[in-house]
Structure 1
Amino acid sequence: MLAHNIYKNSQEILLEADDLIISKTDTRGHITYANRTFLRIADYQEEEVLNKPHNLIRHPDMPRGVFRFLWQELRKGHEFFGFVKNYTSGGDYYWVFANITPDFDASGHLKGYFSVRRRPSRAAIDTLIPIYNTMLEIESRANSQSAADHSLAYLVQLLESKSVSYDRFVMTLQAM
């Protein structure tokens, strides 16, 4: 059973067009800053999120393969754009279009990550849900160590079959 069936009573929180969710993390992904919009939408107090892993808000409907790709890109020093379903403290959920960038100090050393999230297009989410569901199904059939790799391989193969890069794919979806 996919995670979205377990949480069927949760409600979607819709971001406003001008909502910008901003957070910073250290190099391990622990939250060092969360703006008021983050706290309001995720329904947390600041002291509940500071120094906690950012995956505190990771919804179970999110394929691990997406996060595998995200971390691969960030470790290369690249920024990441993508669609993420997050969890509120009360069990509701919200979708975001995320832009995550490495944050370097003046000497060029990585000091953490900076993330800005905004409202995604509904068409993008409707397009991604079946893809994410397939990725989750692939992960459920694989062992825990290889699950993320298998679902990421599916996503890569899907994009190759469409002759489109990941970045072009997500940017096209957001423009829908």
Structure 2
Amino acid sequence: MIYRPIVLDKEIVFSKKKFIVSKTDTKGNILFVNKNFSEISGYSEKELMGMPHNVSRHPDMPRAIFFLIWNSLKMGREVSGVIKNLAKSGEYYWVIADFSIKRNHQGEIESFTSFRRSAPNQVIEEIEILYETMLDIEKKHGIKGSLSYLESFLEEKGVSYDEFLEELIRPKGIIAILLSSFKSIFS
């Protein structure tokens, strides 16, 4: 059974040097979490093993974003996202998540690994406006309405979802080097 905490309007701020890593099967069930994941989310490794990853889904997140992420991963495309997570305490924390795909010897998707880092304030400020609008539309018109709005938003900017995120979240300097190192270790 998934424990759903009472949502608190209190942010967990963590070091930009800390990376949260988790690995799931193709259905989204947790296979591995690093110490930082447990520490920041408030869940023990034992509690998380086998749980669906959406245990950390914050209700302020539009479902359409997860729909896009999962569709990309299932099609074999690595993807990124800016995500507001819910900790066991009910507090929240913002992350930039980069998802990678592990394949078996036959080329079939075996698992997904997520590398998350603290989202900078300017990224949060920009994405929150978009997410609030998408969530309002989603409540009235469902995921299709939310996706339609996102498509119009991106069309107006003349970019794809991937291009929009790339410009918004591209790691720079030492963070880019650290992220690359973590990906090579866990992939």
TM-score (norm 2): 0.85
Distance 1:97 1:25 in 2: 17
The question of whether the paired residues in 2 share the 8 Å contact of 1:68 and 1:152 is answered with no
Q: Which residue of 1 aligns with 2:145?
A: 150
Residue ranges of structure 2 left out of the alignment (5+ in a row): 1-5, 172-187
Q: Which residue of 2 is the match for residue 64 of structure 1?
A: 63
CA displacement at 1:174 relative to structure 2: 1.7
CA RMSD between the two structures: 1.5
* Mapping of residues 1-176 of structure 1, within 5 Å: 7=7, 9-142=8-141, 147-175=142-170
Q: Which amino acid aligns with 1:40?
A: E
Conserved in 2, the CA contact under 8 Å of 1:121 and 1:175? Answer: no
Say which is worse superposed, 102-111 or 32-41, in terms of deviation.
Answer: 102-111
- Of 165-174 and 12-21, the range deviating more from structure 2: 165-174
Q: What number of residue pairs does the alignment pair up?
A: 166
1:167 alignment partner, SS class: helix
| Percent identity of equivalent pairs | 39
Q: Which ranges of structure 1 fall in alignment gaps of 5 or more residues? A: 1-5
Residue 15 of structure 1, CA deviation: 2.3
Tell me: CA distance 1:75–1:175, structure 2 relative to 1, closer, same or farther (3 Å). Answer: closer
1:175 Cα deviation (Å)?
4.5
CA separation in 1, counterparts of 2:10 and 2:87?
Answer: 10
Q: Aligned with 1:118: secondary structure?
A: strand
Secondary structure (helix, strand or coil) at the match of 2:60 reads coil
CA distance in 2, matches of 1:32, 1:95: 22
| Poorly superposed stretches of 4+, deviation over 3 Å | none
TM-score, with normalisation over the residues of structure 1?
A: 0.90
